Amino acid sequence: MLVGGLAFFLFGMNVMSSGLEKLSGGKLEQALQSMTSNWLKSLLLGAGITIAIQSSSALTVMLVGLVNSGIMSLASTVGVIMGSNIGTTLTAWILSLSGIESDGLISLLKPANFSPLVAFIGIGLTMLGKTNKKKDTGNILIGFAILMFGMQLMGDAMEPIADFAETNPEKFESLIAVFSNPIIGVLVGAVFTGIIQSSAASVAILQNLAHATGKISFGMAIPIIMGQNIGTCVTSLISSIGVNKNAKRVAVIHISFNLIGTAVVLLIYFPIYYIFKNEFVIGFLYSNVTPFKVAIAHSVFNVFTTILLLPFQKMLVKLANIVIKDKPGKEEKYTFIDDRLLNTPAFAIPECNNRCIEMASKAETAIISAINLCGNYDERRANDIIILENDIDKYEDKLGTFLVKLSRSEMSDKDSAEVSRMLHSIGDFERLGDHAVNLIKAAQEMHDKNIRFTDDATEDLKVAHRALVDIVKLTVDAYIKNDIELAKDVEPLEQVIDTILASIKSRHISRLKVGECSIEHGFILNDMLTNFERVSDHCSNIAVTMIEVVQNAYDTHEYLNALKSIENEEFSEKYKELSTHYKLR
């Protein structure tokens, strides 16, 4: 029954933390990056996120992934780790409510009395809720109820132990006497917590044992609590396998923080326990604990160790650098996006978006530079564009792979829409890089063959260049800002560019007929104009995707037909305005 109760407890916590994480969206990750500027913010943030996702271990795994991807610095994680140790104490306080014995109104605070109602509300929201937000809220409530049911099962499992303690008090006390040794208590707490990888669950078992038997003293509970903090480091230790040295140092900081805190408290605890045998000390250490007192001891220990080591954050970083040393002359390699973040979509999605923004900026730089090279070729600048295009290809490959994996995760409606927007857009950004390379080839051919367009053709191309640069800038700006109103201005400009390119082709044919241009001019001009047209098409695709994601509709042809219909006065007015602005002579 104890094992079954533990299983329900861990499953309920997993369901609850998953729902909390989905509801938070990308706010947790944004907070991590914006609020680690000083120790107080980092501390509060670590505590807040741990309370939100109900797992200090999960937060540490996230930190390992973020540092491994180069998103966070090692120093900025220290305060967050310390804060997470305080945040994890909330669970013990909630579980301490199970020890309420009153039969009055206060008994309503007892989880066993209200969790069935919570479960009923949760299942109602899950089955009848029309949005993912309501369903996620329902999952949180169901997870909480399952967690409390597991807690109750573990409490029921303690009854035979309680009966044994009552009927054979001397034998029971001799059995648990071993825990009066602080070292053994620390080891038991560390090993058990390390096996189940949840300090909340091991604290819950300690609270149940204390409540059922009434024979667990402060002298036994305090060392076990210290050991539980060490055992919870196992998760971060496992997560550090296969990461770069900086990410490994996150796990070292987490372990050293808990080890040093426990060692200092033990150094204080030993003299008190073995030397100062006055009436107050003996009365305190041998007094029996309740679930409520376990929660107090847990909180006092974590708050004390945090206050104790808070001034030594830099020393913890130095210690991590000593334990995990850099190899001379070898640069640290960062993972593009760490796969550990797949376990926490709320953190993964904003990081994918950051990478998409980087990709969009690179694509903008590449295509604008390539346009400017047409008629003004420079080999060094051309090589820079090719390097950029190779980077864009890598972004598309790695981002695409990660986003496909991420799309299989359970997410909120908002997060699913964001993943869809990125998946639809990265291919178009990659194609912009390809067209930049194509334009370089055309520019190089003109340079190598010393081909020059006529003055009229050059003036026409200048207008096309200006319009193309503007549509690329407008598209990337709209994407980076996720501004739908800016995105709506892309399609009218794309139509204007199509009209300009058609006119340039027509004018070239007229010049060709009178012998002002040659066939060779025509080949190069056609290559350039084809790439110009494709670039504007991809800009249109990106903008339309942004709009469709907001409208939750993915029929591009239907949207574009509706946009360009005669009844759409807004589109017509914008088209006329832009046609005048980019008018050929």
Phi-psi region of 512 (alpha: psi -120 to 50; beta: other; left: phi over 0): alpha
Average pLDDT over residues 260-279: 78
CB 298, CB 33: distance < 8 Å: no
pLDDT digits (tens, 9 = 90+) for 352-411: 888 899 999 999 999 999 988 887 888 899 999 999 999 999 999 999 999 998 888 877
Average pLDDT over residues 256-270: 86
Torsions phi, psi of 217, nearest 5?
-95, 170
pLDDT at 272: 75
Task: Report the chain's C-alpha Rg in angstroms.
Answer: 32
The CA angle 410-411-415, to the nearest 5 degrees, is: 155
pLDDT at 350: 81
Average pLDDT over residues 403-425: 84
Average pLDDT over residues 57-85: 77
CB 84, CB 58: distance < 8 Å: no
The answer on pLDDT for 322 being more than 80 is: yes
Where is pLDDT greater, at 125 or 515? Answer: 125
The answer on pLDDT for 25 being more than 60 is: no
Residue corresponding to tokens 């130095």:
318
Q: CA 100 → CA 97, 106, 114, 141, 317, distances in Å?
A: 6, 8, 13, 21, 43
Torsions phi, psi of 288, nearest 5?
-75, 145
pLDDT at 193: 83
Tokens for 139? 């999952």
Tokens for 502? 């058609």
Average pLDDT over residues 569-575: 78
pLDDT at 333: 60
pLDDT at 99: 56
Q: Which stretch of 260-264, 464-468, 549-553 has the lowest confidence by average pLDDT?
A: 549-553
pLDDT at 362: 93
Q: Where are the domains of the chain?
A: 2-323, 344-581
CB 157, CB 120: distance < 8 Å: no
Where is pLDDT greater, at 563 or 422? Answer: 422
DSSP codes of every residue in 143-193: HHHHHHHHHHHHHHHTHHHHHHHHH-HHHHHHHHGGGGSHHHHHHHHHHHH
CB 342, CB 348: distance < 8 Å: yes
Torsions phi, psi of 409, nearest 5?
-80, 160
Average pLDDT over residues 476-493: 90
Gap between the Cα atoms of 18 and 415, Å rounded = 14
Residue corresponding to tokens 């496909």:
404
pLDDT digits (tens, 9 = 90+) for 173-227: 677 767 778 888 888 888 888 887 777 778 888 888 888 877 788 888 888 888 8
The answer on pLDDT for 64 being more than 60 is: yes
pLDDT at 478: 92
CB 347, CB 25: distance < 8 Å: no
pLDDT band at 86 (very low <50, low <70, confident <90, very high): confident
Average pLDDT over residues 339-351: 78
pLDDT at 433: 92
pLDDT digits (tens, 9 = 90+) for 283-307: 777 788 888 888 888 889 889 988 8
The answer on pLDDT for 535 being more than 90 is: yes
pLDDT at 420: 86
pLDDT at 55: 66
Instruction: Output the average pLDDT for the chain.
Output: 80
pLDDT at 269: 79
The answer on pLDDT for 112 being more than 70 is: no
pLDDT at 552: 60
Gap between the Cα atoms of 422 and 360, Å rounded = 11
pLDDT at 438: 92
CB 564, CB 540: distance < 8 Å: no
Of 457, 342, 336, 328, residue with least CA distance to 391: 336
% residues pLDDT > 70 (the chain): 84
CB 435, CB 531: distance < 8 Å: yes
pLDDT at 386: 92
DSSP type of residue 58? H
Of 461, 489, 495, residue with least CA distance to 474: 489
pLDDT at 427: 92
Of 498, 500, 476, residue with least CA distance to 486: 476
CB 124, CB 138: distance < 8 Å: yes
Gap between the Cα atoms of 155 and 113, Å rounded = 14
Where is pLDDT greater, at 460 or 242? Answer: 460
The answer on pLDDT for 555 being more than 70 is: no
pLDDT at 359: 93
| Residue 450: alpha-carbon gap to chain centroid | 53
Average pLDDT over residues 478-489: 89
The alpha carbon torsion through 356, 359, 365, 370 (nearest 10 deg) reads -130
pLDDT at 474: 94
DSSP codes of every residue in 446-491: HHHTT----HHHHHHHHHHHHHHHHHHHHHHHHHHHT-HHHHHTHH
pLDDT digits (tens, 9 = 90+) for 220-249: 888 888 888 888 887 777 767 767 787 788
Residues comprising the chain, all counted: 585
Gap between the Cα atoms of 49 and 516, Å rounded = 70
Where is pLDDT greater, at 486 or 214? Answer: 486
Topology of the domain comprising 344-581: Methane Monooxygenase Hydroxylase; Chain G, domain 1 (1.20.58)
Where is pLDDT greater, at 26 or 117? Answer: 117
The answer on pLDDT for 172 being more than 90 is: no
The alpha carbon torsion through 163, 168, 169, 170 (nearest 10 deg) reads -160
pLDDT at 330: 56
CB 53, CB 21: distance < 8 Å: yes
CB 89, CB 302: distance < 8 Å: yes
